[in-house]
Amino acid sequence: MRRPSKAVCAVFTLAIAVGGRSAQAVETAVHAVGASPGQLSGYTIGGQVIDGTGIRIGDVDTQIDPDHPALAGKIISHTDYSGEGLLDPDTEFHAFNSTNGPRVWVNDMHATAVAGVMVSNGLDSDGTQTGHIGISPGATLDIAKFWESNLDKNTNGAIQAGLDLTAGPASILLIEDQTANDFAVGGFPFTLSLDYLAYTRDTLVVIPAGNSGPDNIVFSVPADAYNGLTVGATDATFNKVAPFSNQGPTDDGIGRSKPDLLAPGVGLVVPFGGWEDDDGRDGSAAVNFRGPGAANVSLFKAPNITAEDDIDSDWVTVSGTSFSGPIVAGAGALLQQWGGHHGMDTSNETMRAVMVNSANKVDGVLGMTRTIVDRQDRDWLASEAFSDPAVVLDDQMGAGQLDVTRAFEQYDAGEQGPGTVENIGWDRQLTSAQGEFFDYDFDGTLLAGDFISATLAWDRQVLFVDSGIAGEFDPGFDSFTGLQLDNLDLYLMLSDETDTANAIWSSISEVDSLEHIFWQVPEAGDYKLRVEFAQDATYFDGVPRTPTYALAWWAGVPEPASGGVLLVMLGFTGRRSRAGLGEV
């Protein structure tokens, strides 16, 4: 069990500057994660590069600006779950007072910016193509408003939104919220509801990590979800954890690994959903906005900025994990479009395993193109997750930064095994009994110094007792119950080895629904991965529910990094010892 050293209330903060000055366009971030049309040119459907067409993403957020030209035709539904109703952007200009002076709230700013990261077509209000195109411009959105214009929110409404959106065609759910609370982390109804949707409806749930930085190492609701992808942010270099990005482990007496992935989150130019007047689209210049994640706080830190000081703009520069999350959600749409067209499994577990396993860690290893470092400039090879089999992911970096090009190589290698498998692939498998194991033998000898990356993902099982009106969440009658977590372990072994005590390396967390190995084999030989169903959960109703898992793997020779450095294994002293790494 790992314990955080301190706990501070999480606040979801994001910086905003209108017009995109001193910023990088969202398409630059899309290219940084390997998702530009040129980078994915080998993946076409009907002669068109994949773009998320046919995939619906549910965004649980604020109100959106449905008339922004960059989002034309992309908003399929726009529903209020806050109780406030959808406001008229042409007539309902909202202002309110706080202890720090007059503030204004642009009700549709946040969701419009988030949507732009995913589906922007790049068009300005005069029809000019700006190039500010989202990661999955062919996808469409269902917007669920659960934030009121004064930053009060309806969390029960957000739970209902998740139930409604995933009952329809939405296969991905993006949750734009961070909340500190008095409930046990992982046990709050909002978190349980998201784990339920991932478990029962195979929804890919994506949650921004939050923006309280290194002082907040408590993962708040709902970023503590077991079955979702929690996303932190990298800075403007795309190589380093952003100063504001929340870090793990969870503060639930367990210390689970979070975040899962990183994505760019600094200085992105996205559609601006401001209020409108007779002069067109307006917005406050160089302001700070405290958005979803903290109720009853002021929105703008610059109290003297008013509508008279505004400038016209269709675009806004933003920073925050609010915008890292939709990059990952959009990547999920690309993968689901490809998988659905080819009849491949698109389950929550498979999407998680594929994206986590293909993340960038160290430039030049297994086709990786970036070395990702934490705030202290330490890479993944210096992390506790690399050296301790019980720690799955790094507390700042997770598994590394999303790489969509590698995710497609991982996914397109196809479902294989158990049995003999190629060096790149994945599998989804239903278990049947505690003590059961599945072996995946690599077809061919691995050489000394070859790397292996492998990720095992499964779901915490959650039940929903719907005692009130069917399909409606009523906290007075209905409840979500998280069952004890099934424990699966992952081992790297010589092919002829039968005893996991002699494994080369392992990932054996007892508290996470993810295992991850990133290791360099010490000597040439035949190797395999073993998935072991170590511990069946004890169910309060006595009904056994064995888990289904997804496993993704990638093994091969390391390539020279861009700086000419090659990692080489110098020695091996056993499964729980970290082998020496040197440079040549």
Q: Which of 326, 341, 366 is the last residue of a domain?
A: 326
SS3 of 532-580: the string is EEEECCCCCCCCCCCCEEEEEEEEECCCCCCCCCCEEECCCCCCCCCCC
In a domain? residue 376: no
Domains contained in the chain, number: 2
Q: Which of 358, 399, 366, 364 is nearest to 380 (CA)?
A: 399
Name residue 48's beta-bridge partners: 45
Question: What residue numbers bound the domain in which 486 lies?
Answer: 415-583
Q: Which of 265, 293, 326 is the last residue of a domain?
A: 326
157 with 299, same domain: the answer is yes
In a domain? residue 568: yes
Q: How far apart are CA 431 and CA 202, in angstroms?
A: 17
Tokens of 327: 């990059």
- CATH number at 499 reads 2.60.120.380
* Phi then psi dihedrals of residue 96, to 5 deg: -150, 165
- Angle among Cα 393, 395, 397 to the nearest 5 degrees reads 75
454 with 311, same domain: the answer is no
155 with 252, same domain: the answer is yes
319 with 450, same domain: the answer is no
Q: How far apart are CA 94 and CA 103, in angstroms?
A: 9
Q: Which of 326, 351, 381 is the last residue of a domain?
A: 326
Full pLDDT tens readout for the chain, 584 residues: 443 333 333 333 444 444 333 456 788 999 999 999 999 999 999 999 999 999 999 999 988 988 899 999 999 999 999 998 887 766 554 443 334 433 344 457 789 999 999 999 999 988 999 999 999 999 999 999 998 766 677 889 999 999 999 999 999 999 998 765 434 445 588 999 999 999 999 999 999 998 887 765 556 788 999 999 999 999 999 999 999 999 988 877 788 889 999 999 998 988 887 544 333 333 333 333 333 333 222 222 222 333 333 434 788 888 999 999 999 999 999 999 999 999 999 999 999 999 999 999 999 999 999 999 999 999 999 999 999 999 999 999 999 999 999 999 999 999 998 999 999 999 999 999 889 999 999 998 999 999 999 999 999 999 998 888 888 898 888 989 888 899 999 999 999 999 999 999 999 999 999 999 999 999 999 999 999 999 887 666 667 678 999 999 999 865 544 443 344 443 333 322 223 222 22
560 with 461, same domain: the answer is yes
Tokens of 497: 């080895």
Return the pLDDT at 280: 38
- Looking up tokens 């329809």 gives 168
In a domain? residue 24: yes
209 with 88, same domain: the answer is yes
In a domain? residue 494: yes
In a domain? residue 349: no
Burial (Cβ within 10 Å: 0-12, 13-18, ≥19) of residue 226:
buried
124 with 221, same domain: the answer is yes
How does strand 437-442 pair with strand 527-535? antiparallel
In a domain? residue 272: yes
In a domain? residue 513: yes
In a domain? residue 485: yes
pTM of the model: 0.88
- CATH number at 117 reads 3.40.50.200
298 with 422, same domain: the answer is no
